[in-house]
Amino acid sequence: MAKSKIEMSVPDMSGDGVVRNIETSLSGVRGVEYAHVNLGAGKITVEYDDAVATADQLIGTVKQLGFDVLQV
């Protein structure tokens, strides 16, 4: 298993419901081990198995929720 980490900047996030929604959606992606949203910083950190998931897949998951995403 090859662990990777991605950090994304999502400046337009607000509210606890958004945090739960994003973390739940990312955690549901096969290969994701950890997903954390830092609402105050506008950042998402995800640790994942890069043999199973890709950075583009994770970014796409957040975009599907309606957010603009920049990889940090």
Query: For residue 35, what is the domain's CATH number?
Result: 3.30.70.100
pLDDT band at 50 (very low <50, low <70, confident <90, very high): very high
Distance in angstroms (rounded) separating the CA atoms of residues 16 and 30: 24
Residue at 44 is within a domain: yes
Residue at 33 is within a domain: yes
- Percent with pLDDT over 70 in the chain: 99
pTM as predicted = 0.91
Residue at 7 is within a domain: no
What single-letter amino acid sits at 39? L
Residue at 48 is within a domain: yes
Tell me how long the chain is: 72
Residue at 3 is within a domain: no
pLDDT band at 16 (very low <50, low <70, confident <90, very high): confident
Residue at 6 is within a domain: no
Q: Which position has the token pair 């950042």?
A: 43
Give me the number of domains the chain comprises: 1
Domain that holds residue 35: 15-71
pLDDT of residue 1: 66
Mean pLDDT on 53-67: 96
Distance in angstroms (rounded) separating the CA atoms of residues 60 and 63: 5
Distance in angstroms (rounded) separating the CA atoms of residues 47 and 36: 9
Laid out side by side, the sheet with 3-9 consists of 32-38, 43-49, 3-9, 70-71
